[in-house]
Amino acid sequence: MAASGATNDEMMDIGGAELDNNKNEKMFTLKKWNAVAMWSWDVECDTCAICRVQVMDACLRCQGDGNRQAGGKQPECVVVWGECNHSFHHCCMSQWTQQNKRCPLCQKEWSIQRMGK
Amino acid sequence: MSLRPKHVNFDETWGTLRRTIEGVVTLSKVPRVEWNDRFTDVYTLCVAHPEPYTNQLYSETQTFLRKHVQALRTEIEKYESNSSLLKVYYDMWVKYSQGVEYLNKLYSYLNQQHVKKSKLSEADITYGGVTDMPGHMIEIGELGLEIWRQDMLEKIQDTLIELVLEAIRSDRRGDTAVSTTIVNGVVHSFVAVEDPKHRIPGDPHTHLTVCHPFSASPTFYEKAFEAPFLQDTGRYYQQEASKLITTCSVSEYMEKVIQKLNEEDMRARRYLHASSYGKLSSECHRRLVSDHLSALHSECRIMVENDRRQDLTNTYGLLKPLASGLNVLADTLEAHIKKEGLEAVGNLKPETAHMDFVESIILLYKKYKDIVNTVFKSDQMFISSLDKACTAVINFRQCTKNPCRSPELLAKYCDALLKKSTKGYSETEVDEKLSQSIIIFRYIDDKDVFQKFYSRNLARRLINHLSHSMDAEEAMINRLKQACGYEFTNKLHRMFTDVSVSSDLNNKFNDYLTKEGIKLPISFSIMVLQAGAWPLQQNPSPFAIPQILESSVQKFETFYGRQFNGRKLTWLHHLSSCDVKLSYTKKPYFIIMQTFQIAVLTSFETCDEMVYRDIREATRLTDDQFVRHLQSLIECKLLECDDKEFTQDSIIKLNKGYSNKRAKFRISGAVQKETPQEVEQTHVSVEEDRKIFIQAAIVRIMKSRKVIKHNVLIQEVLQLSNGRFSPTISVIKKCIETLIERAYLERTPNSADEYSYVA
């Protein structure tokens, strides 16, 4: 089936594709690479223990805000790591620390190690 | 002249007064002076000393009027059964009623001082209590009309009504000799004799109150004239209808009925009192339409099938006033749309199924939407017929085991329109077609299935840069959002955002490279996707990327690490692609292929022949993935192999004589095609998502209700999932079971069908 896969109608623009008559030219020259990668927070547990939403998704509060926003654009909802290496949504944790300055998972005093960006 | 009470000779005064009132009721000329004197006489008599003559005056006047009317009757009875009776009566009535009105004015003092005092309040009349008081005084004008009713109208009403009816009958026959004024005047005299306040004929505003809202008993007009008139009309149209229905087609019949109803409406306005308009038309309607409902209903199907719009308009107009008259028509329409729809989408060619499916349903929808709007005046009942029929067609399943294909076909349709390859459509056409697809989308039950397919297609378009226009993509997502809400399109939006973020990122990366003085061996562009938002499979296989690409990976990771914090990157090589130039062929070719394919192909850099096993080990792809990519390269003739079935030792050769008409092209990858397994897989993942959705819904409900009956819970779950999909009861039950097992809820001990939430 894939023999028909040489689709004619998808002409591609190839950067710097003029013929160069280099005799020592390799048989295959890679011109351009269209790479694809996926990013995720570098966390041990992919769920925020405070709001029970995946850290990759915005926390519930932010999702609600996004709902209200006319454009429906996701607001920035980043992840925060404590010195204990536990991670949460930054918004969730800010709420939490107003009442309790300890990590909800290990009860160690909470101090921010780094912040997602 | 003194206003003081004084002695009066009643007989003398009455004698002069009598002469004058004779003149008044016959509308003879009464000089002003005489009128004024008699006016005073009435006053004088009413205040006479020592005894006022009020009662005597009243009864003498009554006797006088009675005699006068009786004399008129003697005269009129000469015309018995003669059509000129109508005219004579009318003339007499006009004169008499006018005269009585004047008389009423002459007796003003008596009316005001004596009648008003003994008059009952409105409330007394309304709520009963006092019925007819004998000897009770009424205003002279009213008295005059009352006497007319008793001594004239009631005596000759049978003859009179028969003449009126005959006149109206002849009007129906088209006889123009009937005098509208006379018939109208006679009819209205029936109204006038009962209530003097509304005596001016032909003024509908004052007449409306004649039919007293509180009085249950019919008025004289209703009893004496209206009832026999309606009966006569009924009889007439009964005959007329049965005559017509046997000689005409239903279509002609309706035309005639509409004409007759209109005529009768006009007739009512010409002859009758306003209170009768509605009654007359409903009587006619009953005889002409209700009585022949089955005949009209039996024609509905044929009218709908043959798209006889005029007839349908007529039917709608005629049946609309009946309580449930339109049901049959609405059901017929629904059944027909459904039938036509299922026929249209019943036999789709596999290659163009998505196009044919969507376009024929849109065509169907438009056609019937137009009919509903124009013929059925956008009647809610017919809108819902169309909705029900469309829902049935769109969600039809040949057999219950297979999932409905509509969501998939619709998603594919959108994909085809949004792809670059869309030929022959202008931008506005594409836009219009996409707008229309929302119509179908709204009818789809399994919106979540559509979402799955749509997001897969969108991902493919975005990653492979196949989108025709980003504006069109965004517009479509906004349409879906409008139809189904933010949550539904949330992920689609995020995918979209990733694309624009990535293009920024590429610019920044290039700036970074320049600044650092790094030159990559290859032009590099990347798309960084947010995990969770894209419907992508994980890397299907380990992979050793060609060495030339490694530096790009490293440099980008360093750059990315500096740009962001706490993020990790996973390279999705199975989705990436490469532009490669072939130099070993007669002329150079520029081909775009997947990175996996490149890896296989570039193994031949140093030799023209390789063993299957060696290539696979070099790329480190799994057997299953490797075969697919190798196969795709052989199928497009870049590689060759003599073995039909690969073995570990198969020899693979580079096709050095490769040639193609085109110098630049893309070869499609093995995994790019939507395979049946993938469709299957999509449906499976939808099933999974649904279970999670239902469980979440149950927990949410339980959290707020704490204790709930089984049936109520099921209902609420159905309500929550409505708009996304319609779960089966058994699936919901299974989810409840699961949650009980996982101790989210439990059955309450005292009731068999009740659950409580376990916090």
Does A90 fall in a domain? yes
Cross-chain residue pair A35–B536, CB shorter than 8 Å: no
pLDDT at B1: 56
Same domain as B702, residue B665: no
| DSSP label of B591 | E
Same domain as B151, residue B58: yes
Per-residue pLDDT for A14 more than 80? no
Cross-chain residue pair A39–B530, CB shorter than 8 Å: yes
Instruction: Decide which of B174, B193, B217 is a domain's last residue.
Output: B217
Per-residue pLDDT for A44 more than 90? no
CATH number at residue A87: 3.30.40.10
Same domain as B193, residue B93: yes
* Alpha-carbon gap: A74 to the closest alpha carbon of chain B (Å): 7
Number of domains present in the structure of chain B: 3
Residues 6+ apart with CB under 8 A from A70: none
Same domain as B682, residue B670: no
pLDDT at B444: 92
Mutate to test the interface with B, among A7, A10, A63 (most CBs of B within 10 A): A10
Distance between CA atoms of B637 and B229, rounded to whole angstroms? 95
Distance between CA atoms of A4 and B308, rounded to whole angstroms? 49
Cross-chain residue pair A9–B530, CB shorter than 8 Å: no
Q: How far is CA B71 from CA B27, B57, B148, B585, in A?
A: 16, 21, 11, 129
Does A48 fall in a domain? no
Cross-chain residue pair A2–B636, CB shorter than 8 Å: yes
Better-scored residue on pLDDT, B338 or A54: B338
pLDDT at B195: 61
Same domain as B172, residue B88: yes
Cross-chain residue pair B552–A74, CB shorter than 8 Å: no
Q: Which chain B residues touch A27 with a CB distance below 8 Å?
A: 582-584, 604-605
Does B159 fall in a domain? yes
Q: Which chain B residues touch A38 with a CB distance below 8 Å?
A: 528-531, 534, 536, 569-570, 572
B350 touches A at CB < 8 Å: no
Cross-chain residue pair B569–A38, CB shorter than 8 Å: yes
Mutate to test the interface with B, among A34, A77, A79 (most CBs of B within 10 A): A34
Element (H or E) spanning B284, and its range? helix B277-288
Mutate to test the interface with A, among B460, B592, B671, B675 (most CBs of A within 10 A): B592
Instruction: Summarize the confidence of residues A80-99 as an average pLDDT.
Output: 90
Does A4 fall in a domain? no
Domain housing A96: 60-116
Per-residue pLDDT for A75 more than 60? no
Same domain as B64, residue B155: yes
Better-scored residue on pLDDT, B309 or A65: B309
* Alpha-carbon gap: A106 to the closest alpha carbon of chain B (Å): 21
Does A19 fall in a domain? no
Element (H or E) spanning B358, and its range? helix B353-374
Residues 6+ apart with CB under 8 A from B72: B92, B96, B152
Does A25 fall in a domain? no
Does B395 fall in a domain? no
Instruction: Decide which of B178, B197, B217 is a domain's last residue.
Output: B217
B 491-520 residues with CB below 8 A of A?
A: 493-494, 497
Q: B126 and B47 in contact (C-beta within 8 Å)?
A: no
The candidate with the shortest Cα–Cα distance to A8, out of B667, B133, B455, B576, is B667
B536 touches A at CB < 8 Å: yes
| DSSP label of A31 | E
Cross-chain residue pair A79–B522, CB shorter than 8 Å: no
Does B405 fall in a domain? no
Distance between CA atoms of B594 and B636, rounded to whole angstroms? 13
Does B637 fall in a domain? yes
pLDDT at B116: 61
Does B165 fall in a domain? yes
pLDDT at A71: 45
* Alpha-carbon gap: A101 to the closest alpha carbon of chain B (Å): 22
Radius of gyration of chain A (CA): 24
Cross-chain residue pair A33–B481, CB shorter than 8 Å: no
Nearest Cα residue in chain A from B560: A39
Nearest CB to A54 within list B525, B532, B552? B532
CATH number at residue B734: 1.10.10.10
Radius of gyration of chain B (CA): 47
Per-residue pLDDT for A65 more than 70? no
pLDDT at B196: 46
Cross-chain residue pair A2–B668, CB shorter than 8 Å: yes
Distance between CA atoms of B576 and B123, rounded to whole angstroms? 91
Low-confidence stretches of chain B (pLDDT < 70) are 1-2, 80-81, 116-136, 177, 195-217, 422-423, 669-675, 759
Bridge partner residues of A32 (DSSP)? B523, B579
Q: B596 and B545 in contact (C-beta within 8 Å)?
A: no
Cross-chain residue pair B570–A115, CB shorter than 8 Å: no
Q: Which chain B residues touch A87 with a CB distance below 8 Å?
A: 566
Does B399 fall in a domain? no
Tokens matching residue B130? 């006092």
Tokens matching residue B455? 């997001």
Same domain as B92, residue B71: yes
* Alpha-carbon gap: B251 to the closest alpha carbon of chain A (Å): 54
Nearest Cα residue in chain A from B547: A30
Q: Which chain B residues touch A39 with a CB distance below 8 Å?
A: 528-531, 560, 564, 567-570
Does B122 fall in a domain? yes
Number of domains present in the structure of chain A: 1
Mutate to test the interface with B, among A36, A41, A112 (most CBs of B within 10 A): A36
Same domain as B707, residue B596: no
Distance between CA atoms of B34 and B16, rounded to whole angstroms? 10
Q: Which chain B residues touch A34 with a CB distance below 8 Å?
A: 465, 525-527, 576-579
| DSSP label of B593 | E
Same domain as B730, residue B589: no
Q: B463 and B575 in contact (C-beta within 8 Å)?
A: yes
Q: Which chain B residues touch A19 with a CB distance below 8 Å?
A: 588
B 370-429 residues with CB below 8 A of A?
A: 420-421
Better-scored residue on pLDDT, A66 or A108: A108
Same domain as B691, residue B645: no
Domain housing B643: 576-674
Does B119 fall in a domain? yes
Bridge partner residues of B579 (DSSP)? A32, B592
Does A43 fall in a domain? no
Q: B583 and B590 in contact (C-beta within 8 Å)?
A: no
Q: Which chain A residues touch B421 with a CB distance below 8 Å?
A: 9-10
Q: How many contacts (CB atoms, under 8 Å) link A and B? A: 223
B234-264: pLDDT as tens digits? 999 999 898 988 888 888 999 999 999 999 9
Residues 6+ apart with CB under 8 A from B46: B52, B53, B54, B57, B109, B110, B113, B114
Instruction: Decide which of B632, B649, B674 is a domain's last residue.
Output: B674
Q: In what order do the strands lie in the sheet with B651-654?
A: B609-611, B651-654, B639-641
Does A50 fall in a domain? no
B527-553: pLDDT as tens digits? 999 888 898 877 788 899 888 899 999
Same domain as B54, residue B175: yes
Residue A67's pLDDT band, with cuts at 50, 70 and 90, is low
Bridge partner residues of A82 (DSSP)? A112
Mutate to test the interface with A, among B479, B499, B578 (most CBs of A within 10 A): B578
CATH number at residue B641: 3.30.230.130
Nearest CB to A36 within list B529, B560, B604? B529
Q: B324 and B273 in contact (C-beta within 8 Å)?
A: no
Cross-chain residue pair A34–B525, CB shorter than 8 Å: yes
* Alpha-carbon gap: B446 to the closest alpha carbon of chain A (Å): 23
Side chain identity at residue B191, one-letter code: V
Cross-chain residue pair A30–B666, CB shorter than 8 Å: no
B 582-611 residues with CB below 8 A of A?
A: 582-584, 588, 590, 592, 595, 598, 601-602, 604-605
Same domain as B105, residue B84: yes
* Alpha-carbon gap: B314 to the closest alpha carbon of chain A (Å): 47
